[in-house]
Amino acid sequence: MIEIKDITKTYSNGDITFTALKGVSFTINDGEFVAVMGPSGSGKSTLMHILGALDTPTSGTYFLDKKDVSKMSEDELSDIRKEKIGFVFQAFNLLPRTTVMRNVSLPLIYEGIPKEEREQRAKKALLAAGMTESHFQHKSNQLSGGQIQRVAIARALVNDPSLILADEPTGNLDTRTGEIVLGTFQKLNAEHGRTIVLITHEREVAEHADRILTIRDGVVIEDSRSHKRRTARIDA
């Protein structure tokens, strides 16, 4: 699904240049659950922006589903984000006084999808993310932190993307709630075959994935299987 080859990213500000990524290469197969782990300043956020088609590399290639994302225009990148990638962010980014169903179906409204189909797809995504129907008409400011993040996961699923990209998805959650959310990702991967890339700076979070890419100073220093993979709880 993902093939990254010799990716570099250099930022310039006048006479000052900074290289955030220095020849990064790896592949991620369809259906893998991979954590990208590194400290602040390691380059993982830059890598996330490239994987998410939010930015393009200075050099190197990035193929997603056999399409060369690294050479695309802004309009083409926008289409890739809409069609191929589901984003889950640390800050949730839900509308607080809007129902769960409407929050999840908003991307479909923007695409002009008919109401009945929107509701069917939103319901399917919410159930896959572990939400119960009794919460569908709740407003997001009436939910717990873990439930809010599950709604955000459902919103990422609603367009049936090839790739779920989760950026520090447990960063604003307590440990117990974070475990529930990580369990949701594990279930989506194991039972629904979703390809998930999770960005984190925490080893304990990364160990919930099947594979860990460790990045430091713009270089992948380790690519390892998570032999002691943590199994998270999925009950609310």
SS3 of 22-68: EEEEEEECCCCEEEEECCCCCCHHHHHHHHCCCCCCCEEEEEECCEE
Q: What is the DSSP letter of 224?
A: E
Instruction: Look at domain 30-55+83-225 and name its CATH class.
Output: alpha beta
Give the integer Cα–Cα distance in Å for 67 and 177: 37
Report pLDDT for 121.
Answer: 95
The answer to whether residue 235 scores a pLDDT higher than 60 is no
Rounded to two decimals, the pTM is 0.89
Q: Which residue has the tokens 């992948």?
A: 220
Hey, what amino acid is at 209? A
The string of pLDDT tens digits covering residues 115-160 is: 999 999 999 999 999 999 999 999 988 999 889 999 999 999 999 9
177 vs 36, residue with greater confidence: 36
